[in-house]
Amino acid sequence: MFAGKVRQGFNPPPRVRLLDEMRPLLTKRCPFANLPTSKRSHFGEGITAEEMTELCWLRPKLVAQVSFTEWTNYGLLRHATFEGLRDDKEPRAVVREL
């Protein structure tokens, strides 16, 4: 399920590891059951059609720890920050936390 964009927390050392982990998982198909919304808001939560053409997709094999302030009215994360990858959790075991 698509839960929003994460822009913060991608410092150089974790970014290098993340890119190495992501490269073999590239796919042309969007893996989300709920395609990202095209809605735009004050907080920039949506993804436009133009952005969709620029994005790259990954097969869902990695689990990221992401901190955030709250869920928006659209069901997306607000002020999300990448904290790191989780090696102790399988992607199918991830559920939305309230």
Segment 10-54, tens digit of pLDDT? 988 888 889 999 999 999 888 888 876 666 555 555 677 777 788
Of all helices (H) and strands (E), which one includes residue 52?
helix 49-54
Tokens of 59: 């097969």
Burial of 76 (0-12, 13-18, 19+ CB in 10 A): buried
Q: What is the pLDDT of residue 31?
A: 86
pLDDT band at 80 (very low <50, low <70, confident <90, very high): very high
- All domains of the chain, ordered by start, with CATH? 12-93 (2.40.50.140)
CB 72 within 8 A of CB 45: yes
Q: What is the pLDDT of residue 42?
A: 54
Percent of the chain with pLDDT over 90: 46
Nearest to 4 by CA among 87, 83, 82, 92: 82
